[in-house]
Amino acid sequence: MRLVEILIPERKREAVEETLEEEELDYTLVQEESREEPSVVITFPLPAPAVESVLEALRNTGLEEDSYTVIVEAETVVSERYEDLEQRYAQNTARISREELQAQAKDLTPRFSTYLVMTIMSVVVATAGLLLDSPAVVVGSMVIAPLIGPALGASVGTVINDRSLFRRGIKLQAIGLGVGIVTAAVFAFGVRTTGLVSPMFNIFEISEIQGRLTPDLLSLAIAIGAGVAGAWTLTAGTSAALVGVMIAAALVPPLGVVGIGIAWGLPAVALAAAVLVLVNIVTINITSLAVLWYKGYRPDEWFQQDEARISTEKRAVVLAATIVVLSAFLGGVTYDTYRTGAYEEGVNDDVAAVIESPDHSELELTDVAVEYDDPVPIRQPERVVVRVSHPVGTDPPRIGDEIRPRESLRVESAIPLPSGPLVESQRAEVVVYYTERG
C-alpha cells in the first residue's frame, strides 16, 4: 500500500476533493502557509495498483504543472473505506505506478563513480574465483555487481519514453562491459606474468572456465529468466537485490573468461565467452522490455504514447535480430555438444565391448577419455585414452589393435565440404594405459 501526499493550490482544492470523493477515498487536508500562493497538502492512502489510475484522474484537474507529489510505502491502514478500495482494485494487475517505476529504475543505478568501482571490483573477484576454480568466490562477485540498474533502466526509459533514462542505461551497460573486459584482461595478465599461477597452469582444466566456453541454446533460458524476473520484480515494487545476483551471474563470470582468454593469448576462448556475454545482455534487455510493455507501462502524455510504441518496436526488432544472429553460434555449439556426446557414447560402448569380451576377462576398465584438438567448439576428436587394470604378474593383452578398427573411432569433418555431406577424414588415435592391481 502507498501513502500519497500532494501539494496543490487552494484554487484547485474543490476540483481535487471532488475527484477523491468520486474515488471514495479517505483523505486529510492541511493548510500550507509557507508558500506565497495559498496552498493545501492533501494526504490519502491507496493500494499500489490504484496509484496510477487515481493520479491520472487528479492530473485531469490540471495539477501537473503547479503541484508536486510524494509517494511512500505504508505499513498498514485501518479503514473500512480503504478495505472496500482494496477489493475494488484486487483484480487489477499487481504493479507499482509509472512514477514509482521510474524512480526505482533510477535508484537501482548508483552514481557513476560507485558504479565504476563496483563493476571493477566484481570483475576482479570473479576473475580470481575463476582462476582459483572457486564457485563460492564467483558467486560472491555477483553479489557486488551493479549491473541490474542499467539493464532495467534502459527498458523502463524505452516504454515510458524517458530518453535520458534510456541513454543512461545503454551508456552504463556499454561502459560496464568494456571496463569489465579490460579489468579482467589486465588482472589475469598480471596474475600470469607475476607467477601467481604455475607456468604449467592449464585454464582448460578449470571447471568454472569450461562451463563458459561452450555456450549453447540453454544459455538463452538463463538470460530470459534473469530478464523476466528482474522486470517483474521491479514492477511489483519488491526488492531486486536477489534478481540482481541472477543478472550478474549471466554477465560477470563470462566477462572474466573473456579477460582470461585475452591474457592467455587464446582468441577462441575470448570469442566464445564474449558471445555468451552478448547473448545474455541482449536477451535480458529484450525480455525486460517485453515484460514492462505487457504490464501496460506507457508515457503519461497521450501524444508520447505512439512515439514510445514505435521506439519500443524498433528497439525490440534490433535486439531480436541480434539474438537471432548470435543464436546461430549457439546452435553450432549445441550441435557440437550433441555430436561429441554421441561420439563419446559410441567410443565408450565399443571399448567396453572389447574389454568385456571372454578373451579379456582378466581386464577391468578404469576410464575412457576423449581428447580434442580444441577445447572450444567446433572440436575434432584426436585421441582416445583408455585406462585398464590387470592382475599382478600377468602379461595383459594388447587391446589397442582391437579398438582401433571400431566404427565409433571414425572422425568426421565438422564442417560440410563443398562436395556435399560430411566425409571421413581420419580415425582418432587410441592410447591404452595398463596398471597392475593386487
For a pLDDT cut of 70, what percent of the chain falls above it? 91
For the chain, which residues make up each domain, given as ranges? 2-92, 100-297, 336-437
pLDDT bin (cut points 50, 70, 90) of residue 222 is confident
Where is pLDDT greater, at 2 or 189? 189
Per-residue pLDDT tens over the stretch 273-295: 998 899 989 999 999 999 988 88
Q: Count CB atoms within 10 A of the CB of residue 62.
A: 14
Query: Which of 251, 253, 256, 48 shows the shortest CA–CA distance to 149?
Result: 251
Q: Count CB atoms within 10 A of the CB of residue 130.
A: 28
Contact 45, 77 (CB under 8 A): yes
Q: How much is the pLDDT for 422?
A: 41
Residue 261 predicted with pLDDT over 70: yes
Contact 88, 27 (CB under 8 A): no
Distances, alpha carbon 408 to alpha carbons 348, 365, 367, 382, 412, in Å: 9, 18, 17, 13, 10
Lowest-confidence region among 139-148, 239-248, 261-270, 331-340:
239-248
Q: Which three cell numbers stand for residue 18?
A: 471532488
Q: How much is the pLDDT for 180?
A: 94
Q: Which residues contact 30 (CB under 8 A, 6 or more apart)?
A: 40, 41, 43
CB-neighbour burial class of residue 111 (10 A; exposed 0-12, middle 13-18, buried 19+): exposed
pLDDT bin (cut points 50, 70, 90) of residue 198 is confident
Does residue 115 sit in helix, strand or coil?
Answer: helix
Burial 377-387 (b: 16+ CB within 10 A, else e): bebbbeebebe
Q: How much is the pLDDT for 94?
A: 65
* Mean pLDDT for the stretch of residues 322-333: 85
What is the DSSP secondary structure assignment for residue 199, as one 8-state letter?
T
| CA pair distance 401, 405, nearest whole angstrom | 7
* Mean pLDDT for the stretch of residues 165-190: 94
pLDDT bin (cut points 50, 70, 90) of residue 42 is confident
Query: What pTM was estimated for this model as a whole?
Result: 0.76
pLDDT bin (cut points 50, 70, 90) of residue 25 is confident
Could you give the strand order of the β-sheet that contains 429-437, starting from the edge strand earlier in sequence?
A: 364-372, 381-391, 429-437
pLDDT bin (cut points 50, 70, 90) of residue 241 is low
Domain 336-437: CATH architecture, name and number where available = 2-Layer Sandwich (3.30)
Mean pLDDT taken over the chain: 83
What is the number of residues in the chain?
438
pLDDT bin (cut points 50, 70, 90) of residue 56 is confident
Contact 249, 230 (CB under 8 A): no
Q: How much is the pLDDT for 127?
A: 94
What are the φ and ψ backbone dihedral angles of 265, each rounded to 5 degrees? 65, 40
Helices (H) and strands (E) in the chain, counts: 14, 9
Give 10's Cβ-side CA count (13 Å radius): 9
Tell me the fold of 2-92.
Answer: Alpha-Beta Plaits (3.30.70)
Residue 82 predicted with pLDDT over 80: no
Residue 29 predicted with pLDDT over 80: yes
Residue 300 predicted with pLDDT over 70: no
Q: How much is the pLDDT for 119?
A: 93
| CA pair distance 387, 354, nearest whole angstrom | 13
* Mean pLDDT for the stretch of residues 165-171: 92
Q: How much is the pLDDT for 424?
A: 44
Q: How much is the pLDDT for 414?
A: 47
Give the distance, in angstroms, between the CA of residue 241 and the centroid of all CA atoms in the same chain.
14
Residue 204 predicted with pLDDT over 80: yes
| CA pair distance 12, 8, nearest whole angstrom | 7
- Looking at the DSSP bridge assignments, the partners of residue 178 are none
Q: How much is the pLDDT for 190?
A: 93
Per-residue pLDDT tens over the stretch 394-435: 888 888 888 888 777 776 554 444 444 444 446 778 888 888
Query: Which of 361, 428, 349, 425 shows the shortest CA–CA distance to 396?
Result: 361
| CA pair distance 254, 277, nearest whole angstrom | 6
Residue 93 predicted with pLDDT over 80: no
Alpha helices for 204-301 (secondary structure H): 207-210, 218-236, 241-263, 267-294
Would 2-92 and 336-437 be classified into the same CATH topology? no
Residue 195 predicted with pLDDT over 90: no
Does the N-terminal peptide bond of residue 209 adopt cis geometry, omega within 30 degrees of 0?
A: no
Contact 355, 365 (CB under 8 A): yes
| CA pair distance 143, 109, nearest whole angstrom | 15
Where is pLDDT greater, at 412 or 310? 310
Per-residue pLDDT tens over the stretch 328-372: 888 888 888 888 888 889 889 888 888 888 888 888 888 998 888
